[in-house]
């Protein structure tokens, strides 16, 4: 595991891209069978008149984006322990374009704002799940509490 | 499949509860391995100091709520076809309390508002994922376009 990431590693205005996930029909259908069995997430033929073919559940896109974020930085971030169920609060989630079989997805992360007190900081991120055409499929704004690098020494 | 549900089937102020899903450690870990491999979603021991034991990924709770909604009414609702990736827009999603192994979950659905034009209506829902103690784990506000019953005859 690489070195932990602290508040100082996220600067307002920073934009980075990472991840490379290809989504298969099987992935889309497996998620839908478990969580979202609407016909346009299950069957390409049934989906044609509705959405021009099979498309992924919106929550599948959100979950894929989370996985890419975990691998890229979230597992290494010195998160502030929260009394909430999850340290990552979601301010907005929007489905802009469908995710279709064969799509290759990456995440573009923008630091919208970064504020801190003595020990901890809050970073407001924009995450965009971008497809192989450079178009945004899913968009999420989230704030994350992250420790300052020298918090332990204070 | 039961009869389709139209706009008129959702009245402002209606509150109904449905669903009965028990979440196991295995379910929580399987979702986390795929989408959210943070230690407190994967391992009970690692989770103890952070969250008092294993807790489900926030997106897992959202996905479970969607599944309960699909089974209870969403698959039968006469949804307005949307140009968006998904007919269900999410205005808010909040994780109020963790979901832990053995939790038994149901959904409480409140119709916050219902508006219509000639052919179609828009219904604004509050969905709450409620545990066996009657406490809300996950909260979601969503608007859904639903056809009026006699839209076809106009």
Are residues A93 and B90, on separate chains, in Cβ contact within 8 Å? yes
Any bridge partners for residue B77, and if so which? B5
Residue B152: pLDDT above 70?
no
pLDDT band at B83 (very low <50, low <70, confident <90, very high): very low
A144 has a chain B CB within 8 A of its CB: no
Output the pLDDT for position A85. Answer: 47
Residue B79: pLDDT above 50?
yes
Q: What is the average per-residue pLDDT within A94-118?
A: 95
Residue B18: pLDDT above 90?
yes
Q: Closest CB to A86: pick one of B34, B37, B95.
A: B95
Neighbouring residues of B98: CB distance < 8 A, sequence distance ≥ 6: A85, B51, B55, B56, B137
Q: Closest CB to A63: pick one of B35, B93, B98.
A: B35
Residue A82: pLDDT above 90?
no
Listing DSSP states for chain A in one string gives ----B-GGG--TT-EEEEEEEEPPHHHHHHHHHHH---HHHH-HHHHHHHHSS----HHHHHHHHHHHHHHHTGGGB-BPP-SSS-SEEEEEEEE-S---TT-EEEEEEEEEEEEE-SSEEEEEEEEEEE-TTS-EEEEEEEEEEEE-TTGGG-
Spell out the domains of chain A, with CATH numbers in brackets. 7-153 (3.10.129.10)
Q: What is the average per-residue pLDDT within B89-113?
A: 94
Output the pLDDT for position A63. Answer: 97
Output the pLDDT for position A83. Answer: 47
* pLDDT tens digit sequence for B32-74: 999 999 999 999 999 998 889 999 999 999 999 999 999 999 9
* pLDDT tens digit sequence for A112-130: 999 998 788 999 999 999 9
Q: A97 to chain B: nearest residue by CA?
A: B85
B65 has a chain A CB within 8 A of its CB: no
Are residues B85 and A50, on separate chains, in Cβ contact within 8 Å? no
Are residues B59 and A59, on separate chains, in Cβ contact within 8 Å? yes
Residue A89: pLDDT above 80?
no
Are residues A85 and B66, on separate chains, in Cβ contact within 8 Å? no
Cβ-based contacts of B58 with chain A (< 8 Å): 85-86, 88, 90
Q: What is the average per-residue pLDDT within B114-133?
A: 93
CA B13 to chain A, closest CA, distance in angstroms equals: 25
Output the pLDDT for position B153. Answer: 52
Spatial distance between the Cα atoms of A55 and A98, rounded to a whole number of angstroms:
6
Are residues A59 and B55, on separate chains, in Cβ contact within 8 Å? no
Give the number of beta-carbon pairs within 8 Å between A and B: 90
């Amino acid at each position: 595991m690489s070195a932990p990431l602290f508040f100082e590693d996220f600067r307002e205005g920073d934009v980075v891209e990472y991840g490379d996930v290809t989504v298969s029909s099987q992935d889309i259908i497996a998620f839908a069978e478990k969580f979202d069995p609407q016909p346009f997430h299950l069957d390409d033929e049934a989906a044609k008149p509705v959405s021009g073919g099979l498309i992924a559940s919106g929550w599948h896109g959100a979950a894929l984006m989370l996985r890419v974020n975990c691998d890229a930085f979230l597992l290494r971030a010195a998160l502030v322990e929260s009394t909430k169920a999850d340290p990552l609060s979601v301010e907005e989630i929007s489905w802009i374009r469908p995710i279709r079989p064969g799509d290759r997805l990456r995440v573009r992360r923008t630091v919208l704002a970064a504020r801190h007190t003595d020990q901890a900081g809050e970073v407001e991120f924009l995450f965009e799940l971008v497809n192989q055409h450079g178009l945004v499929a899913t968009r999420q704004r989230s704030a994350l509490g992250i420790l300052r690098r020298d918090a332990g020494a204070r």
